Amino acid sequence: MNQGYNAYKSANVETADRGKLLVMCYDVAIKHGTAVSELPTDFKHIEQRNKHLYKMNDAITELISSLNFEVGGGEIANNLFRLYEYMQYRINQSIAHPENTHIVEILGYLTELREAWKEAAQTVRMSANGDVGYAAG
């Protein structure tokens, strides 16, 4: 059963368009950030917290690597880079000093950006299909 799920996941990633991949990265970061925010900040849960924080950080690193500083989006890419860098800084703070306020702050940014990318990806998909007039969410 696990093999089937892994094959599905792999096929889903391999056939996804760029917008969908970005949303998937946000989903991973949000999933692990939510898991961290629900864990106690005591020493007993430090290994579990750090596991989720590292996965959250990896997803943000993937978002950074997707930035295009060349083609027409230089200013936007630079602003996103600074925001992602700040998120990673806050994650590192949370690793060093377990505190959920940093993670809750990051989750707010990630959730807002995820929705914006999801809408943008849907708009691009619809305009590519000729349905420019309507982009439902």
Mean of pLDDT over the chain: 84
Domain count, the chain: 1
Instruction: Say if 83 falls within a structural domain.
Output: yes
The answer as to whether 136 is a domain residue is no
pLDDT at 2 over 90: no
Residue 63 scores a pLDDT above 60 = yes
Give the closest residue to 117 by CA, choosing from 59, 56, 63, 72. Answer: 63
pLDDT of residue 8: 40
pLDDT (tens digit, 9 = 90+) per residue, 14-33? 445 788 899 999 999 999 99
Per-residue pLDDT band at 125 (split at 50, 70, 90) = confident
Q: Report the alpha-carbon distance of residue 28 to residue 34 in Å, rounded.
A: 10
Any idea what the CATH number is for the domain that residue 66 is in? 1.20.120.340
Q: Is the pLDDT of residue 51 over 60?
A: yes
> What's the confidence (pLDDT) of residue 114?
96
In a domain, 11, yes or no: no
Q: Quick one: average pLDDT of 44-55?
A: 95
Q: Which domain holds residue 119?
A: 17-126
Contacts 24+ apart (CB under 8 A), 38-43: 41/98, 41/99, 41/100, 42/98
- pLDDT one-digit tens code per residue, 72-100: 668 889 999 999 999 999 999 999 988 89
Does residue 137 form part of some domain?
Answer: no
What share of the chain has pLDDT > 90, as a percent? 61
Express as a percent the part of the chain with pLDDT over 70.
Answer: 80
Answer whether residue 50 is part of any domain: yes
∠97-104-113 over CA atoms, to 5°?
Answer: 130
Residue 88: inside a domain, yes or no? yes
